Amino acid sequence: MQAYYAQRAREYERIYDKPERQADLAKLRADIPTLFEGETVLEIACGTGYWTPLIAARAKSVLAVDYAVETLAIARSKTYAKQNVDFQQGDAYHLPAWPQKFSGSYAGFWWSHIPLEKIDSFLAGLHERLAPGARVAFMDNLYVEGSSTPLARRDTAGNTYQERCLADGSRHEVLKNFPAEGELEARLGRAGSEVRVTRYQYYWLASYRIMAGRRNP
């Protein structure tokens, strides 16, 4: 997965060019930043930074983390009007022990790439870096027949995979999970309070707040 996204860096944002998805993306570009007004935000798996400038425009500050130095280089090259964004190379499953606790966290197109068996441990590690009451939001794809890449297989743990082809002709198997109806509400309800899940036509957006004293989902 890490090698795939490093190789895909220069063509990554083509996913935002699909004509049928423009109405959803316009709503998300408005809806996501409003969740983090005035917050200190930890962005997980920021990729090429498509969402980072939008969040930074409303947030107090953003620390954007990604594993691939190739995508981070693109994210760093973008314009941040408030100059309130820092970047760090890092592993989402082993986040650094920063001295500060963040009051918000966002991850776009990351949830679907987490193996089902690792979701709880990932959330536990993330929550340790956040202050009580912090708002957490995830955004990802809904599976839409005819628009989404077809699923190629399912493993014994229930994870699903797609076969993707890059512009250089290389083919890659990529883990891509699509939560079933009610799955997000149940999972995030164990992790926090004020759970809200919005389903657009092609995407979903889920948010919740960490409850005081709650570290593990």
Instruction: Look at residue 3 in the predicted model and tell me its pLDDT.
Output: 62
Instruction: Look at residue 45 in the predicted model and tell me its pLDDT.
Output: 95
Q: Which amino acid is at 131?
A: A
Instruction: Look at residue 167 in the predicted model and tell me its pLDDT.
Output: 73
> H/E/C letters for each residue in the chain?
CHHHHHHHHHHHHHHHHCHHHHHHHHHHHHHHHHCCCCCEEEEECCCCCCCHHHHHCCCCEEEEEECCHHHHHHHHCCCCCCCCEEEEECECCECCCCCCCEEEEEEECCHHHCCHHHHHHHHHHHHCCEEEEEEEEEEEECCCCCCCCCEEEECCCCCEEEEEECCCCCEEEEECCCCCCCHHHHHHHHHCEEEEEEECCCEEEEEEECCCCCCCC
Q: How confident is the model at residue 169 (pLDDT cuts 50, 70, 90)?
A: confident
pLDDT at position 116 over 80 = yes
pLDDT in tens, 51-109: 999 999 999 999 999 999 999 999 999 999 999 999 999 999 999 999 999 999 999 99
| Residue tagged 């022990």 (tokens) | 97
Instruction: Look at residue 12 in the predicted model and tell me its pLDDT.
Output: 64
Whole-number Å distance between alpha carbons of 182 and 214: 22
* Every domain of the chain and the residues it spans: 2-145+180-209
Tokens of 174: 């990529």
pLDDT at position 5 over 80 = no
> What is the greatest pairwise CA distance in the chain?
49
Tokens of 89: 């190379």
Going from the C-alpha of 157 to that of each of 160, 181, 188, the distances in angstroms are: 9, 18, 20
Instruction: Look at residue 93 in the predicted model and tell me its pLDDT.
Output: 97
Homologous superfamily, domain 2-145+180-209: Vaccinia Virus protein VP39 (3.40.50.150)
**Pairing between strand 85-89 and 61-66?**
parallel
Instruction: Look at residue 156 in the predicted model and tell me its pLDDT.
Output: 97
Q: Which amino acid is at 177?
A: N
Q: What is the mean pLDDT of residues 184-203?
A: 96
Q: What is the dihedral of CA 156, 158, 163, 166, to 10 degrees?
A: -120
> H/E/C letters for each residue in 9-43?
HHHHHHHHHCHHHHHHHHHHHHHHHHCCCCCEEEE
